Amino acid sequence: MTPVLAVENLRKSFGDLVAVDGVDFEVAEGEIFGFLGPNGAGKTTTISMIAGLLRPDDGEIRVDGVSIADDARAVKRKLGVVPQDVAVYAELSARENLRFWGGIYGLKGQALRERIEELLDQVGLSERADDPVKQYSGGMKRRLNLAMGLIHRPRLILLDEPTVGIDPQARKKILEIVESITRGGQTVLYTTHYLEEAESFCDRLAIIDHGRILAEGSIAQLKAQLGEGSLLTVQGEFLEQPFREILAGLGDLREVEITDGRAMLLVPGGSRGVGPALEGLYGAGLHLDDVLIKEPNLEDLFLKLTGRELRD
């Protein structure tokens, strides 16, 4: 079956800076595909090219098999874009913004009025629908932004970090709306640097950094890349190289990440293997002052792939 979105070898540089460096992925019908990456990873640049707002240096983007290079208009009509930076008219009300935006997509009359009421209800803005947007809170503006991206019932919705920069309560509300959209079988490309969001509603994920996809798959497939076992993190007064040498003599333990003073190891056999592993480390004369045992998660995979934490 033709994927709703197919991206091949997408590239974009700004001067010397390579923002998107050969990105390939596909999103199937009804799938929520997550783009997980830290600040500056290239998420917005990728979305902007798919949305037709930025011209790629190279590569191809197809929506329902139609290349954006061949028919940008046809592709754009299939997309609902919810940009990272809220794009609404501050002087107009929510209802007026939606009417304007619906008009751009050729909606009018009764059909447009009904769609607007439906969306206002869905994003919880019915009561404030006639107030000028400049009187809205950040969360309310974001909810309106979301409604605008949905007005023409797009085939594919592009959501660029819809929960960034708002308070936890507003964020929760946005997440509820996104969840209700996704339950309806909508195909979505969702960028975020929040792991919990990616984990809670993405069917598949790509981990992106420095413009490249480092890993891709379902949550289970990504976790499996770390390997089976428990994750043992130890801290103490040791240096990277001698620690590695000790580790090499300890058989089964696998390195996830080792730096001076801190090592993250995968212990095969799960928690049963942790006791012998620690005995081995202590037995080699290491002084450890902090030990943490847990099940591996995506943040650990991210750290292993990029050498840095998701949040900065």
- Which residues in this chain contact ligand ATP in the complex, by CB under 6 A? 14, 17, 19, 37, 39-45, 84, 193
Tell me the closest approach of the beta carbon of residue 211 to ligand ATP, in angstroms: 7
Which of Mg ion, ligand ATP, none sits in contact with 1, Cβ below 5 to 8 A by type? none
* Alpha-carbon distances, residue 303 vs 6, 210, 226, 248, 276 (angstroms): 28, 14, 11, 22, 25
> Binds 19, which of Mg ion, ligand ATP, none (CB < 5 to 8 A, cut-off by type)?
ligand ATP
d(Cα 142, Cα 182) in Å, to the nearest integer? 17
The nearer residue to ligand ATP, 44 or 93, going by C-beta atoms, is: 44
Nearer to Mg ion, 158 or 277 (CB): 158
Tokens 């969702």 sit on residue: 190
Q: 149 touches which of ligand ATP, Mg ion, none (CB within 5 to 8 A by kind)?
A: none
Q: Which of Mg ion, ligand ATP, none has residue 226 at its interface (CB below 5 to 8 Å by kind)?
A: none
In 153-267 the beta strands, taken as DSSP E runs, fall at 156-160, 187-192, 204-209, 212-217, 230-236, 254-259, 262-267
> Would you say 14 or 282 has its CB closer to ligand ATP?
14
Report the candidate in 167, 207, 241 with the shortest Cα–Cα distance to residue 309: 207
* Cβ pair 140, 128 in contact under 8 A: yes
Question: Which lies closer to Mg ion via its Cβ, residue 3 or residue 83?
Answer: 83
Q: Which is nearer to ligand ATP, 41 or 88 (CB)?
A: 41
Task: Provide, rounded to whole angstroms, the least separation between the CB of residue 44 and ligand ATP.
Answer: 3
Residues that bind Mg ion (CB under 5 A): 43-44, 84
Q: Amino acid letter at 182?
A: T
Joined together, the tokens standing for residue 70 give 């061949």
Find where tokens 């809220």 sit: 86
Q: Which does 17 bind (CB under 5 to 8 A by kind): ligand ATP, Mg ion, none?
A: ligand ATP
